[in-house]
A = this chain, B = another copy of it.
Amino acid sequence: MIGVLGGGQLGRMLGIAGVSLGKKFVFVDPNPEAGAKSVGQLIVGDYDDEVSLRALAEACEVVTYEFENVPLRAAEMLDELVPLRPSPRALELMQDRLSEKRLFEYLHIPAAAFIPADSEDELRAAASDLGLPVVVKTRREGYDGKGQRVVRDSAELDGLWAELGEVPLLVEAFIDFDRELSVIGVRAEDGDSKFYPLTENTHRDGILRVSVAPADVSAETQAEGEEIAASIMEALGYVGVLSVELFEKDGILAANEMAPRVHNSGHWTIEGADTSQFENHLRAILGLPLGSTAPRGVSAMVNLIGELPTSSDVLAIEGAHLHLYDKTPRSGRKLGHVTITAVGVEVLLARLEELGKIENIGI
């Protein structure tokens, strides 16, 4: 039995991959309608509910999580009872954008200059020191663009401290990147590591819309991306899938953020790679050999956000693979994704254009 904290779409896709491997799953989620319950048992409970967590630990050989905002105390308690992978230490580090940044610095990974700010005055001072524009982020709990603002004019600083909840912030120099890329790596207990081809990502309103893989990058850029993920995983003795969002500017990569889990920009690996990120995460945390991360043709992943297209319209497109998460439609909510596969880029782009014509496909 594999335990998963969180029963959303990432847990669900971990479960789909794991059932094929003959594994059973138990998910913890406060939502009784969590989509992962289609592929395992669901314990409805808060993430810091000790009774739920003890039940989870007793049932499972290993526990993982699908989101990085697991209460640290819960993670540590679990790890005393059953291996929690990735480790509580990795989780702790990636829960805080400041410690993330400091790790980049320590490992000489290029990233935006940054200054922490714990008050309105410190926020203004940091913005002034770095020079506008800056990106202001809450140190904790942000995702999908929530808890962050780009500040281009000093007037935009007025009220921002209050607006972001009067919580510790991180102020970063704005990188006027050419492209957003991401690298997904996986590391086994014995240190064996593999990396997927870099993915090129397009966001809108802070939410990932489209990923194309393999990204059209040089071998040097691919190696640079892998080296970034490798050095982080090595430093942390990491076990599982690690995702790092990257900015590319003039052919040079800078790390933006990272997550100790499978990642939306890796969903294309289900059909587009020899082994999916979900299966490889499970292989890693179960102590099994990692699978090949080689791409199979080219892929584009399109998120379905807020409203769903008609399934038959999507499936009429050659090479289209539909994934629905069993979630109630709501503005800004990720409800599913479509991965289009093709043998070459030209065909891929033609199919993507076809997909874009369908109602409720936001590309």
Contact = CB atoms under 8 A, between A and B. Distances in A.
Interface of A: 12, 16, 19-22, 24, 38-40, 274-275, 283, 287-289, 291-292, 296-297, 311-312, 315-316, 318-326, 336, 341
A315 B341 contact: no
Nearest to A297: B296
Please state the number of chain copies in the assembly. 2
Contacts of A288: 311-312, 315
Contacts of A318: 292
B22 A326 contact: yes
B12 A319 contact: no
A315 B289 CA distance: 6
Contact of A22 (B283, B287, B297, B324): B324
A39 B19 contact: yes
Nearest to A312: B288
Contacts of A296: 296-297
Nearest to A38: B19
Nearest to A316: B289
Contact of A274 (B322, B325, B341): B341
Given A16-B20, A288-B311, A296-B296, 8 more contacts: A16-B16, A21-B311, A21-B324, A22-B336, A288-B312, A291-B320, A292-B318, A292-B319
Of residues A20, A24, A316, A336, which shows the largest number of chain B Cβ atoms within 10 Å of its Cβ?
A20
